[in-house]
A and B are shown apart, each in its own frame.
Chain A
Amino acid sequence: MGKRSDVTRSAFAPGRWVRVRGDGASGHVRTPSYVRGKNGRIVKCHGSFRNPEERAYFRDGLPRKRLYLVAFETKELWGKIVEVKNDCVFVDIYEHWLEEVE
């Protein structure tokens, strides 16, 4: 039902590379499938919000989770440059979906 581990850790800094977890989700998630397993770059942290995956089941969604704006290059998402190389997609993703990459 969408439970994720509540590991508290320090925030990802802008510019940091992260990978979106690829493992199958259950329940209500707001991480679209097209970014799962993909690498992106942190643009900013929007702050912390109640977890929508919990709120969806009428639970309070606490503790709040950090929400990041993450930039993905077109080639990373689609395996090729669909239109123009430097185009990208920015997606809002919760911290528990993100892992650091070197």
Chain B
Amino acid sequence: MSDAHDVGGAKDGGAIDRSGHELSDWEVLADGLSQALDAKGIWNTDAHRRVREQMTEEQYDELSYYERWIYAVENALLELDVLTKPEIDDKVRDLERTWGNAAT
């Protein structure tokens, strides 16, 4: 577990980028799926944050907001034995075959 998320008061804060971006479909899906797992009682907000905090500092710095959410969703589902990593890996490969060139 790193403290990468505990940033209040850090001395290296810079100018705030006020531009927004329209969410990609996968970000909308990440948000909705994450909330649906909570509504079903499969996980909760605190577990989401805790799992997210288990990433390394490098991952925290490199990943975007919803990439961090997906990291948390995947690792929580693995921890709960709802899914296994090999089956997610296999499904990604299946999907990439379906998507063909669209996914590159």
Contacts and interface: CB of A to CB of B under 8 A. Distances in A.
Is chain B found bound to chain A in the same assembly?
yes
Interface of A: 27-28, 32-34, 52-53, 55-58, 61, 77-78
Contacts of A61: 46
A28 B50 contact: yes
Contact of B46 (A32, A33, A52): A52
Contact of B50 (A33, A57, A78): A57
Nearest to A2: B50
Interface of B: 1, 3, 6, 8-9, 43-47, 49-50, 53, 80
A27 B53 CA distance: 9
14 contacts: A27-B50, A28-B1, A28-B53, A33-B3, A33-B9, A34-B9, A52-B46, A53-B46, A55-B46, A56-B47, A57-B50, A58-B44, A58-B80, A77-B9
Contacts of A27: 1, 50
A92 to B, nearest CB: 13
B6 A56 contact: no
A67 to B, nearest CB: 13
Given A28-B49, A57-B50, 15 more contacts: A27-B50, A28-B50, A32-B6, A32-B9, A33-B3, A33-B8, A34-B8, A52-B45, A53-B46, A55-B47, A56-B46, A56-B50, A58-B43, A58-B44, A58-B47
